[in-house]
Structure 1
Amino acid sequence: MDHILPLLQPEDHVLHVQFVTGIFRSLLEQPIPNHEALASQAISHLKHVEDLVLHASFYRVLGYFYTYRDNLAKGVQTLTKALEVAKSAENIDEQGRILNMLASAKWSVAEYAAGLALVIEARRLLQLSGNFQEEAKSLWIEAGFHRKFGAYQYSLLLLWRARERLRLCDTHMLKSEYAEAKKIHVTIAQNTSPEQDMLRHAYALLGIAQIDITLGTTGNDVEQTLSSAKMMLSHMVYDAGVKECEMSIANLHLAEGDLLTAKPVFQTCLQWSWGKEAEVSSYCLQQMADIRRWKLANLSWCTSYLVERFSFSKDMKVTQKNLFIVALEGFTSMDIHRNRADCMLRLGQIMEKRGDLEKAETLWMDARPLFERSLQGKEVAGLNTRLAVLREAKTKSNIGEDLLIEYLSMQDESNNHSEGK
């Protein structure tokens, strides 16, 4: 009977292609022995298949496999072929799904404008096809691009529509809305497990640890959380995720003052990511350029960057006040609470030294709820002390304004000295 069956049942080319497609789709997190030979077999069977949608689906899954396995150029080439076939088949659903993947590939190499154009077209096609799940993915990807351009409010709007909790959490993080971000990560961690959804569970743990570090929490518990996330992502052979964990561990060492341990990790991650993982490179450069944390000066990386902007404005005198004003305008438009408050605090100090105590008080009052919103308890306490001293001194007629300014300036010098330690 074993010898008769092959004669009675001719080879099913469609079934073979579907089977190989399923292998590539389901084993992204596991090694596939001889995957190139397997792909070649499927392509040879496709020559006997007339269904162009099946062709497009196979190349879409194969292209995603290549991009996931760190062969971005081959992945984009395969996805482009898939898109051509999907257009020939006039299947807008496949076109939309492929465009989503191509947009994600553009994100990896920091081609944000090109990626945004692709995903907007993907969302349009998927709306027409009625594929709500893939449309939500388009919204999720599109929100990431708008977030990169600083349009955080619009990004949040897109994310609420897409109901994609994880990227929503990223936007809260950038806006320094740490309580909201951590709540989302904790919810994801509680409702997933390494067995059911290892990727989401690992990234939830990573997000929790990153927020804890931002809020000043250090120690073994945070490092253990990061190590657990790294172990899961290593098991999945997801190199970019592993590097994110390693950078976060280095960030923890940096927060604890262990510069010698942190620096080589950032340098190694930067070398690994350059030209292929823009987000990892950006994170490394940001941490390495934040010279406040390296105890070189009390100046943020963002303010350093703004100097370049002023170099193109020949009529504008570059001053400390101008830098903070431009920074405040930018952070206000992006609705980033913590950085807005930082600028207001520094501008208030400048106003105080110039004798404009009313303006200083107004700036500090405006900064306080922003620090509270981003859970910066130390800064809130410092502002409360400043305001109390300022108000008490203003009510005492026997204390002159010059003496008050001198006293507050001494307080600034004392605070700056303690920050540099």
Structure 2
Amino acid sequence: MCSLPSIHVAKTEYNEAHIIYAQIVNQVSVDNNPFRYALAVLNTAEIEASSEAPRDNVLRNIENAKAIFQAMGYSSGVAFCDLSITGLNLRQGDVTEAQPRFEQFLKSWWGKEAEIVTFCLQRLGDPTWWTALNWLPSWTTVFLAHALKSKLKLEIHKAIQFLGDVFLTQGDEDTAIGSLFTVALDGFTFMDVHQSRAECMLRLGDISKQHGDIHNATQLWQAARPLFKQSSQIKQVAKNYERLDAVQSGSAKELDNLGHLAKLHAPISTLIDAGHTDDQNKKSQDVGTQERNQEILIAV
């Protein structure tokens, strides 16, 4: 049976999970329950890494948990801590170090610790972490096969999402949209996995924009924004605003060009009224920017 915090983590509700693990850390100690304490500290570190917390905070929690597991002689726990550090380095862009480390963990733990294998394959199978020089698409296929064999529903849909990214980079948008991203999005919606839903919406919105369907792209990006907020992905919230701003700016320029043409034939009184309207619109835009910044600060 899954624990409540692990359910929150699966749904990418990191704030809710963080609160529960913090309560566990405060309720137990290294002396009376070292295993539960260390596990809560390590899970806290993983949540903080997923929600873009400062590296030093995350690393400190991992090292604390690792020291306790080492004192207990719990080799799997030590391995999980080392994996977490490798995953943290990957988030920081250190792909050169991360790939051989994940591959070595797979060789050492294959058939022994399923969670370690899943952890490694999920990161090796996600093309968004890697560059073409140090990554093979076959990892995504291996991750999907592992998820199917292990009957891991969430991981199956993650692998389908990753395959969508693979086909997208290869220029096969029909397969990416018609099958993979759509199937993944449906699954994540059914399981209520906020971050993964938002990522699929973001991809589909980007593709719509490339095909000139600005309306559909805007709808998808707007739908993704609260999901990124709910999963504490503040950088993605900001990037989401940038996408919407770029689209709105482009539309505004087109309207502005049409407006300039109209003004060539407009009477003087109309031009004066238009000037007042422009001032009011500028004030409204300033208020909108302030509200947006406040929204991001609240999410943090």
Q: Within the alignment, does 1:191 sit opposite 2:36 as a pair?
A: no
Check the 8 A contact 1:324/1:347 in 2, yes or no.
yes
Give deviations 1:83-105, integer Å, cap 9, x for gaps. xxxxxxxxxxxxxxxxxxxxxxx
Tell me what 2:225 maps to. Answer: 368
Q: How does 1:271-350 map to 2 (within 5 A)?
A: 271-296=107-132, 301=140, 302-303=159-160, 306=163, 318-322=174-178, 323-350=180-207
1:186 to 1:363, Cα distance in 2 relative to 1, 3 A? same
TM-score scaled by structure 1?
0.50
The separation in 2 between residues aligned to 1:292 and 1:372, in whole angstroms, is 20
The residue type paired with residue 355 of structure 1 is G
Deviations 1:260-319 (A, max 9, x none): 433343223222221121111111111222232222399995246657xx9xxxxxx952
CA distance in 2, matches of 1:189, 1:295: 38
The residue number in structure 1 matching 2:57 is 221
1:385 positional shift:
2.3
Structure 2: which 5+ residue stretches go unaligned?
A: 141-158, 168-172, 259-300
Match of 1:245 among 81, 88, 92: 81
Supply the distance in 2 between the matched residues of 1:292 and 1:330 (Cα, whole angstroms): 20
Which structure would you say has the larger RCO, counting Cα contacts within 8 Å and 6 or more residues apart? Answer: 2
Structure-1 residue corresponding to 2:210:
353
- Aligned partner of 1:397 in structure 2 is 255
Distance 1:399 1:179, change over 3 A: farther
Contact 1:233–1:241 (8 Å) recurs in 2: yes
- State the match for 1:382 in structure 2: 239
Q: Tell me the distance in 2 between the aligned counterparts of 1:184 and 1:240.
A: 23
Letter in 2 for 1:359: N
Among 58, 63, 72, which residue is 1:236 paired with?
72
CA contact (8 A) 1:246 1:265 kept: no
The answer to whether the Cα contact below 8 Å between 2:29 and 2:37 also exists between their aligned partners in 1 is yes
- Tell me, in whole angstroms, the C-alpha distance in 1 between the residues paired with 2:181 and 2:46: 27
Which letter does structure 1 place at the counterpart of 2:44? I
CA gap 1:319/1:250 in 2 versus in 1, 3 angstroms? same
User: Does 270-279 or 212-221 show the bigger shift?
Assistant: 212-221
**Residues in 2 aligned to 1:242 and 1:393: alpha-carbon distance in whole angstroms:** 52
In the alignment, which residue of structure 1 is the partner of 2:91? 255
Q: Tell me the equivalent position of 1:81.
A: none
Aligned CA RMSD, in angstroms, stands at 2.6
User: Contact (CA 8 Å) 2:229, 2:237: kept in 1 or not?
Assistant: yes
Structure 1 residues 249, 330: closer, same or farther in 2, change over 3 A? same
Percentage of pairs with the same residue: 37
Answering whether residue 8 of structure 2 is matched by residue 172 of structure 1, we say: yes
- The answer as to whether partners of 1:230 and 1:241 remain within 8 angstroms in 2 is yes
Question: 1:394–1:258: structure 2 CA closer, same or farther, 3 Å change rule?
Answer: closer
Structure 1 residue aligned with 2:150: none
Q: How much does 1:180 deviate?
A: 0.8
Is this contact kept in 2: 1:393–1:399, CA < 8 A?
Answer: no
Aligned residues: 228
